[in-house]
Structure 1
């Protein structure tokens, strides 16, 4: 009888330990490069509890800019960063021993729109010649894609425009509103807000013009991927759930879910911005970053004169987690 009691006690202890392990929560510090409806699937993963389902507690911080976001990642202030994949190439070119590796793609086109001060229903890219154009940060994806698109339309941004690039990323909308600039690149929902307030008019999409590119990607240091494989896999699974949910869900319903992240923006306006991104295929439907898109990124960077050197897909992109999650 005593042996039976001991056996029952042992089994109970094992079950208790197992239950504790199953309920174990792993904390993740996540840094996003900016706050944008362009990242709707990320906010869906947070609000719908997809991270929690995977045993993750994600603390989201907005770090405003590629440089500060990458600094947060490399200094261990963040475990994972959502930022333009070009930043990983810049770090790799510095011969970093523990460089950033892209493991889950979130957006697959440029997310900016060409906004004009004046309405122009008959807009032609030639209209930009000799205009006062407020550009984005040198070496950042918005600016490089912008230059790439303009050159496709035989416009040299540094010769054919009065191009200004000395405004910090977070201050660009305010500078456009208060300055005498004629054109600017803006993300949503800022572009729609400007349009609703009569401060600007959306006249073209850089995402539609530039094709598929790994524009915003979740990345982590190589050491983190090696040491936290199960955590990264769980994170990727949560993102994939969100991507599928966004793909299958009405834009207004998505807007209602992510509204807490955009308290000053009307839900209908959010829905319109989400629909615009969905229609042009900006939201990646899976976390898999394919080599063809990576090569397009390198071509865009090279065209802008910002590709610092070789950026091997096999070194800077890890598709293991995405492939495993998709197969599940």
Structure 2
């Protein structure tokens, strides 16, 4: 009787251990299967995209079962090439690029599905300190602008015209300097004014090489400045993936909305190891105050029309494109309702 009890106990113990191990392996397999790889190509690395880095840092993507690979592909052309060629699944870039691709007769158009920023992200920096700035002061000066055809340059020209300045007649407009070298050119003595993104503008100011005097974002109004987009065919095949992706972005947007600049700067710090925390806080605060970070992923028709108006004013709109043709708001609307 005792021998039978020992054998039974041993058998039960072994069976229990086997079941436990099997359950552990099943759970591990489930976790592995749930993580779906999604490759993002971002047009540049910028604090302007803080909600994206918050989604990564806070694990919002992973909570939705997504394993994100983030690659910086400098310039709208390179970013769109990576997307169209299959080198990326999702692109974070200006919405104007989707219009350029569509106008070229693309059979598989690029669709904007989640807006990240809703204003221009550049600032006007003056070489000299100006206590009472007015846009008229740019007349007759040399102005270092951004790349022709890109959103920063188009917004820059739109704002100048808004203040009665013809960018091609009333000042010397330089726009043939590579994006990465614009700040260096200004710091080396080129131009009296320059249009810069953050944190470069704040760094220039901290180093005493220039002074931020105006915001192009405040002047131009709401516009789909930076949006997540993907090829239409890829979105149709992966509807669930894009719902998860958009949900993670929306969580991050709400987190940024309800947290301080200091908390946001701390969260995204791993993505900017060479940037001073104080500078980061200043930059985030500046963007929050002017409403640059979209609080939800919906790219509405009014913003889309404002974008095309800015492109038209700059002479860069190849053709008028209806909002519904290149923008999908159904995913974002569904996520917000839930």
Above 0.5 in TM-score? yes
Q: In structure 1, which of residues 81, 93, 104 is the aligned counterpart of residue 103 of structure 2? A: 93
- Please, which of 264, 272, 279 is the counterpart of residue 289 of structure 2? 279
Corresponding residue number in structure 2 for 1:219: 229
Please state if 1:230 is matched with 2:240.
Answer: yes
1:137 and 2:147 equivalent?
yes
Aligned residues: 318
Q: How many Å apart are 1:280 and its aligned residue?
A: 0.4
**SS of alignment partner, residue 151 of structure 1:** helix
* Equivalent residue in structure 1 for 2:53, among 34, 43, 46: 43
Deviates further, 56-65 or 175-184: 175-184
The TM-score with structure 2 as length reference comes to: 0.91
Once the 2 structures are TM-superposed, how far is the Cα of residue 143 of structure 1 from its aligned partner? 0.4
Instruction: Give the CA deviation at 1:180.
Output: 2.2
Tell me, yes or no, if structure 1 residue 70 matches structure 2 residue 96.
no
Offset from partner CA, 1:198-242 (integer Å, 9 cap, x none): 111100000000100000000001111111111111110000000
Residue 163 (structure 1) aligned with residue 173 (structure 2): yes
Deviation larger for 85-94 or 166-175? 166-175
Instruction: Find the counterpart in structure 2 of residue 4 from structure 1.
Output: none
Matches of 1:178 and 1:220, distance apart in 2: 39
Of 186, 205, 220, which residue of structure 2 is paired with 1:176? 186
Q: 1:179, CA displacement in angstroms?
A: 3.3
Q: Which runs of 4+ in 1 moved over 2 A?
A: 13-23
Query: Using a 3 Å threshold, how does the CA distance of structure 1 residues 228 and 159 change in structure 2: closer, same or farther?
Result: same
Ranges in structure 1 where 5+ consecutive residues have no aligned partner: 1-12
The reply to whether residue 208 of structure 1 matches residue 257 of structure 2 is: no
- Distance 1:25-1:130 versus aligned 2 partners, 3 A rule: same
- Rounded to whole Å, the distance in 1 between the matches of 2:30 and 2:99 is 38
Alpha-carbon displacement from aligned partner over 1:127-159 (angstroms, at most 9, x marks no partner): 000111011011100000010000010000011
Give the SS at the match of 1:98: coil
Q: Which has the larger radius of gyration?
A: 2
2:119 maps to what in 1?
109
> Equivalent residue of 1:167, what SS?
coil
Counterpart check, 1:239 vs 2:249: yes
The answer to whether 1:312 aligns with 2:312 is no
> Normalising to structure 1: TM-score of the pair?
0.94
